[in-house]
Structure 1
Amino acid sequence: MVEIHLTETDAAREETFTPAELRALRRARHGLTVDELAADGHGGVRVRIGPRTGYAGSVSLPGGRRITVHPKAEVYSLPELLALAYRTVAPPPRAGTAKVESATPTDWLLVQLAGEVHELLGRGLRRGYVERRERLPFVRGRTRPILNPAQLPFLDCEYTDFIADTPENQLLRGVLELLAPGVQNRTVRRQYDDALGYLGDVSLIRPSIGHFDRVRLNRLNLHYQPSLRLARLALEGAGVVDSAGSITAPAYFVLMWQIWENAAAAALRDAGVRDLVEKPRYGSAFLHQHGQPNLTVTIEPDLVVGRRQSPRMVIDLKWGPVLLTDRHGRRRLRNPHLYQIATYATALDCDGLLLYPLMDDEVDTEYLFNGHRIFIRTVDLGQPGLAGLRSAAEDIAAAL
C-alpha cells in the first residue's frame, strides 16, 4: 500500500490522483483540504491536499493508496488514545485473525464499535415511550376518523408504547446496517450480525449527522454515549465512496483537541478522581454593575474537580506546545494560557492546572498567583499503553 504521510501542522502539498481517488477525496473534506488544480495530461488530476486545522486521521483511497494525517504531538498509538477518549471498555485485543495493534485505523474503528455495542447489549437496550400510529382491529389509544369505509373493521389508532424503538437505538441500527457489508473479518461480522438481531424490532432509518445532534443524553441513556460517539465517527467516514463504482474508501478524522480533552478526563476518572465535571459553565464571576447592554458573562473551563460551590482544582487542557520562542530567542510560557488559568483559579477560588501534551519541551512547574497554586505540566503520549498520561493522572489524583 502506498501511503502519503502528513502531520497536523504540515503545509498542503501537490499530488496526482486518479478520477476515482479524487471523487473519494472530495468526500473527505471534513478532515482534509482538497484544492483541485488541473489535469496532468495522463488521465490524472493534480490536487493540492493538506491537513485541516486540528484534525488527524486517515483515508484509504480506491486503488490502495492511503493518506494519513499524524497528530502534531507524538502519540504512541492513536487508536489507543481514541479508545480512552471514546469508550467505556478497552478495545478487544483481537477479533478473529485481526489484531487491533496491527490493524489499520479504520479496521480498529469497526472492531471498537462492535465491542462497544456488544457491551451495550449486555447492559440491555433502553426502552422508552414512543408515539405510534397503525391500523388495528380493536381500539387502542386514540382513534382517528374513518375516512374510507373500505378500511373497516380496522381502526386508525394513535397510542404511546414502551418499546425499544427509541432514537438512539434507531441510530445504532442504521449505522450498523450501513457498515456491516464492509466488514471483512468473520468474527467482527458475526458481532455485527448478532447486534442487528437484537435490534430487529427497531425501525430502520438512514442515519445522518443531524440525527446524532438531535439525540439528548440524560441519566437514563448516558451509557449510550461511547457507542454513539464511535457510530458518529464511523458514519462521518463511511460516506467516502467512489460514486462511479462500488469501491468504498473508509476514512476517519478527529479533532485532536477534543480527543485530548476526553482522554485526559477518562484517565483522571480511571485514576480515582471523583466529582470531575467536564465543561461546566459559571455565570456568577462577572457581575454587571451599570450601563447597557446588560449581558451575562460566563466562564467555561475544560475540567473542574469538586463540587460546584467548593471546587478543589480547575484544569485547562491545551493541544499545543507549552513554550514559545520570543524575538530574542528565549523560551517563555504562553501568556494567554497563563492569563486564562489565572482567571479560572481566581474566579473559582481554587488551584489551577495547565496540561499539555509533550511536544518539544518537558515542563513540570508550579507558581503561586493571588494565593492560588498554578501547576503547568506536560504529558508524554508517546509511551506504550499511554503510561505517561496514566501516571500524570495518578499524580493529580494523589495531590487532590
Structure 2
Amino acid sequence: MSGTAPEQQRDISDEITLWEYGDTVSVPLDAAVGRALVASRFLDSVAPDPERPGHWRLRAGNQVGAVRLPGGTVLRIAPKTPVGRLFFLLGFSLNPAGAWRDSREGAVGTGAHDDMVPALAYAVERQIDGALRQGVLQGYREVAESALVVRGRLREAEQIRRHFGRTPPVEIVYDAYTADTAENRILRAAVERLLRLPHVPGPVRRRLAHQRVRLADAGPLVRGQELPLWQPSRLNSRYQPALRLAEAVLRSTSPEHRPGPLALDGFLLDMNKLFEDFVTVALREALREHGLTARLQDVHHLDLGGRVRMKPDLVVYAADGRTPVAVVDAKYKTEKPYKSDGYPNADLYQALAYATVLGLREAHLVYAAGRLPERATEVRGTGGLRLLQHSLDLTSEPAALLRTFRELAARLAGSAD
C-alpha cells in the first residue's frame, strides 16, 4: 500500500527525500527531469501523477545515496539500515581481515554523520589521510615516449617506423620512479568523485580538497574506463584499506553513466549487492575455521547439456575442494507479515534446484529480516530434502551478527561429516 508524504506535497524545492523500499511520494518535477529519472532506472517506479499536473510519483527500491538532478534539486534515498551498521557491512565485505577495524569489529569510522553521503565522504577522507600519513607512495611505472636524448631502452621498431633515417627525437621506454601509480590514481579519482557529490559537509569537503592537492602528481582517470590494477604488497599495505573503500566508491552504481536525455550526477549503493557480499564473505571467513573451501558465484548447470547456467551465491566444498557439502543464497528481502508463507515461494524453488543439481540434502537461504530465526521446509518426494530459511537482524551489534555466521558455518561444516 502506498501513500504520499505530506511534507513532500509542496512546490519545487532543493531536496526530495525517499526511503529505501518506502511509500510512493508525489513531488513537483519538470517533465524532462521526470523522463531522465525513468531512463536512469535506479528508482523502483517513476510515473507522472495523474491527479496532480506537474507532479511525478516516485518510489525508491534497493539503491540508496544521493543524486543531483538538473536544476540543482537533490534526490536523497535514505537506507532502512542504520548508516553505522551499513558501513559495518561494507567494511567487513571489503576487508574481513580487519586492517581498518576498530573496537566494534569491522566498522568503518563515519564520525557523527548519520546520513549516507556525508558518512561515506568522511570515511573515505579519513582512510586516505591515514594512507598518506607517511607520505605519498611512489613506485616504478613504464613510460614510453619520444625524446631528444636517449634514456632507458630504444624502441627500435617504433624508431624505424616513425623516424627512419632521421636523427632525434628517439623512441624510448624506461621505468620512472613516480607518484603517478595505480594506487594514487584510484585515491585521487575517489576524492574527485566525492567532491562532486551533494550533501558533503563543508569541513569534510575542505579535507578532501587537501587530499586532492597531496595526490596532484597522480594522473586523472578517464571516466568510463576500467580502474587501473594494483597488487597487494608489503610496500602498499598502508594504502590497502583506503584503496578498497575508494574502489567501492568508484565501482558502485553511478547514475552519471546511465543513458538518458539529461545528465544525473551522484552516488548510489546497491543494497542487494552489499547484503549478498556481506553474507557470503562472512560465511566464507567463518568456514575457514573448519578447513572448508567456500567459493562465491561458482558456475554450475541445471541441464546435462550445459545450457542453463546456475550461480549460487556460495557453494561450500569438502577438504578435497571438489565435493559440494552445502549451498547458500543471500536474499535482501524481509518477511511480509500479511502473507501466510512470508517469503516468496520462488526462492524455495531456486534453492531446491541448487540442492538437486549439487546432490545435497539441504539448501540454505539467508534473509535480511524475518519473524523467526529459522524456518525449515521439507520437500515432498525427495526422501527428506530440506530447505532452510534463516533471517538476520541487521540492527544487531556487529559481534552478534558475526556470531550468527559462526554458528551457521559450524552447522554447514556438520554436513561434511
- Structure 1 residue aligned with 2:358: 348
Is it true that 1:211 corresponds to 2:229 in the alignment? no
SS of 2:225's partner is: helix
Segments of structure 2 that go 5 or more residues without pairing to the other structure are 1-13, 101-106
SS of 1:343's partner is: helix
Which one is further off, 256-265 or 25-34?
Answer: 25-34
Taking every aligned residue pair, what percent have the same amino acid on both sides?
20
SS of 2:254's partner is: helix
Measured at CA, do residues 269 and 30 of structure 1 come closer, stay the same or move farther in structure 2, by a change above 3 Å? same
- Structure 2 residue aligned with 1:303: 314
Counterparts of 2:304 and 2:218, CA distance in 1: 50
TM-score with structure 1 setting the length: 0.69
Residue by residue over 1:68-111, the C-alpha shift from the partner in whole angstroms, topping out at 9 and shown as x without a partner, is 4355xx52x145324423543332252xxxx23x3x32111212
Shift of 1:305: 2.9
Residue by residue over 1:129-151, the C-alpha shift from the partner in whole angstroms, topping out at 9 and shown as x without a partner, is 645224141153315249689x9
SS of 1:318's partner is: strand
Measured at CA, do residues 309 and 162 of structure 1 come closer, stay the same or move farther in structure 2, by a change above 3 Å? farther
- Structure 2 residue aligned with 1:291: none
Counterparts of 1:128 and 1:23, CA distance in 2: 48
Map residues 198-347 of structure 1 onto 2, 5 A cutoff: 199-206=215-222, 208=223, 210-212=224-226, 224-233=243-252, 236=254, 251-268=266-283, 271=286, 273=288, 275-283=293-301, 286-288=303-305, 295-306=306-317, 308-322=321-335, 330-331=340-341, 334-347=344-357
Measured at CA, do residues 185 and 28 of structure 1 come closer, stay the same or move farther in structure 2, by a change above 3 Å? farther
TM-score with structure 2 setting the length: 0.66
Measured at CA, do residues 167 and 237 of structure 1 come closer, stay the same or move farther in structure 2, by a change above 3 Å? farther
Residue by residue over 1:238-288, the C-alpha shift from the partner in whole angstroms, topping out at 9 and shown as x without a partner, is 899xxxxxxx997432222112101223443565656332211124x6323
- Structure 2 residue aligned with 1:362: 372
Counterparts of 1:55 and 1:147, CA distance in 2: 51
Segments of structure 1 that go 5 or more residues without pairing to the other structure are 241-247, 289-294
Residue by residue over 1:327-373, the C-alpha shift from the partner in whole angstroms, topping out at 9 and shown as x without a partner, is xx7446533211211221232234321111215x3351234554554
Counterparts of 2:203 and 2:76, CA distance in 1: 26
Measured at CA, do residues 255 and 333 of structure 1 come closer, stay the same or move farther in structure 2, by a change above 3 Å? closer
SS of 2:118's partner is: helix
CA contact (8 A) 2:66 2:267 kept: yes
Counterparts of 2:206 and 2:70, CA distance in 1: 22
Shift of 1:175: 3.5
Counterparts of 2:87 and 2:256, CA distance in 1: 18
- Structure 1 residue aligned with 2:42: 31
SS of 1:380's partner is: coil
CA contact (8 A) 2:34 2:47 kept: no
Counterparts of 1:277 and 1:121, CA distance in 2: 34
Shift of 1:302: 0.8
Counterparts of 2:88 and 2:265, CA distance in 1: 18
- Structure 1 residue aligned with 2:145: 133
Shift of 1:56: 3.1
- Structure 1 residue aligned with 2:27: 15
Counterparts of 2:141 and 2:359, CA distance in 1: 44
1:57 alignment partner AA = G
